[in-house]
């Protein structure tokens, strides 16, 4: 991989790792609350829809999901290598394709809100 492309991949990995390290514990805790049947007010349809309708909320959601997806994809690529899978090119194509698909879906749903 060329150095220029490597720095983009690494940059996304680091940015996504930072975002998900900081925010995902809170996200997981929110899912836990919902699972326990204690849905917080901010996750009621009207409130959340209003948040995701605002450009600021939209951008925040997009950035968090987009960066985290690319972080996970890059790390998963390395994990495949670490578990003894040596077909890096195929693995890289697959994981980045899934991340790209997730990014497009996120953008589409946010656009639709």
Binding region for another protein (CB under 8 A) = 14, 16-18, 20-37, 39-43, 45-49, 51-52, 61, 64-65, 68-69, 71-73, 75-76, 78-79, 82-84, 86, 102, 105-106, 109-110, 112-113
48 C-beta neighbours (distance < 10 Å), count: 15
Supply the minimum distance, in Å, between the C-beta of residue 5 and another protein.
Answer: 20
Cβ atoms 113, 49 nearer than 8 A: yes
Query: Could you give the CA distance from residue 68 to residue 111 in angstroms, rounded to a whole number?
Result: 19
Taking the least distance from each CB to another protein, the nearer of 89 and 112 is 112
Supply the minimum distance, in Å, between the C-beta of residue 13 and another protein.
Answer: 10
Query: Could you give the CA distance from residue 107 to residue 34 in angstroms, rounded to a whole number?
Result: 24
91 C-beta neighbours (distance < 10 Å), count: 17
Cβ atoms 16, 71 nearer than 8 A: yes
Torsions phi, psi for 52 (to 5 deg): -75, -10
Supply the minimum distance, in Å, between the C-beta of residue 21 and another protein.
Answer: 4
Taking the least distance from each CB to another protein, the nearer of 72 and 92 is 72
Taking the least distance from each CB to another protein, the nearer of 8 and 105 is 105
Supply the minimum distance, in Å, between the C-beta of residue 33 and another protein.
Answer: 7
């Amino acid at each position: 991989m060329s150095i220029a492309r490597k720095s983009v991949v690494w940059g996304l990995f680091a940015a996504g790792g930072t975002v998900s390290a900081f925010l995902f514990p809170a996200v997981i805790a929110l899912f836990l609350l919902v699972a326990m049947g204690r849905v917080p007010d901010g996750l009621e349809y009207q409130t959340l829809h209003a948040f995701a309708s605002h450009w600021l909320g939209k951008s925040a959601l997009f950035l968090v999901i987009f960066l985290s997806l690319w972080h996970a994809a890059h790390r998963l690529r390395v994990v495949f290598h670490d578990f003894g899978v040596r077909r890096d090119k195929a693995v890289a194509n697959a994981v980045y394709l899934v991340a790209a698909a997730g990014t497009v879906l996120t953008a589409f749903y946010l656009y639709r809100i």
